[in-house]
Structure 1
């Protein structure tokens, strides 16, 4: 951007500097220094407009110091300072958000590691459950076998009890027959 285009900033941001610090300078130097300060104002305005997000914080601080110096010579730097401070706030907010994101990403990673450990435990428990189900089936079969044996034994006991009952009847009948036969008349 040429010197004439740079001076267009004064149409958008009109200035009435007093150049108070130049009062002790000889007139020949005063005019050159005044033009230098005007060019500096235009340069800093342009550089603020062209700032990039990646700029380091010290660049912002340096520009704020330059604006303070220009302000001492009567330049109205409020709009530039406000823009610069706003850019710095946005940049700082971005840095804070980046830290928050990093913290959240770390939390996600921790939970994913935790989930991986949980998944391994779940798989181990699944194996144990399957083994227990097989054991349960094995024990269920043993139980059913024992129930079958018990039912067979009960059936056998019932049959044997029937035999015992018949034998007792026969036994009583034999005793009865014995008494009758023994007591029978001759």
Structure 2
């Protein structure tokens, strides 16, 4: 059951979320979110028990939304909650081959979420580690490309030498045949 108490003109909304739906005796825990409005939307109630908020409990404050119109507040909060869930999910599935712009966009989203009271340290740490792996991967790809170019140059040079050597061997054969003919002609005379 939601409990409301007024703190500095803001409503403190506490909700109980199911932690383990697999047992018949559902254990619950309370999360307190300082929201600048009274919850009306069933969407917000549906977001709260999402797995990401169970694994990474959050206490967003949304202080920066104070100047927003009341009609938009709940929608903005829902947007931030879904953004947090999406960033966490995308970070867990992000391939290192994705462009740097995606990493930068996620870091920007984390900064914005953090300004609204979300705890993003774990996600930022994972994202930073992935970005570091991405940078090392790109460096290794560049080195591999350099090595491949070097190997191609060496292979091309070797092919030229092999062709020239074959040509010289052919000339030597022709000169030896000519020498043999001249020697034979000289002996006849």
TM-score by length of 1: 0.61
Q: Does 1:123 align with 2:166?
A: yes
Structure 1 match to 2:106: 63
Matched length: 143
Cα deviation per residue 1:153-173 (whole Å; 9 max; x = unaligned)? xxxxxxxxxxxxxxxxxxxxx
Structure 1 match to 2:149: 106
Which runs of 5 or more structure 2 residues have no equivalent in the other structure? Answer: 1-42
Aligned-pair CA distance for 1:140:
9.0
Give the Cα–Cα distance (whole angstroms) in 1 for the partners of residues 99 and 157 of structure 2: 38
Could you tell me whether the CA contact under 8 Å between 2:61 and 2:117 is conserved in 1? Answer: yes
Give the Cα–Cα distance (whole angstroms) in 1 for the partners of residues 53 and 97 of structure 2: 28
Structure whose alpha-carbon radius of gyration is higher = 1
Aligned-pair CA distance for 1:23:
3.3
Could you tell me whether the CA contact under 8 Å between 1:48 and 1:80 is conserved in 2? Answer: yes
Over aligned residues, Cα RMSD in angstroms? 3.2
Structure 1 match to 2:55: 12
1:96 to 136, 139, 147: 139
Structure 2 match to 1:149: none
Could you tell me whether the CA contact under 8 Å between 1:37 and 1:70 is conserved in 2? Answer: yes
TM-score by length of 2: 0.60
Could you tell me whether the CA contact under 8 Å between 1:64 and 1:81 is conserved in 2? Answer: yes
Bigger share in strand: 2
Q: Does 1:34 align with 2:77?
A: yes
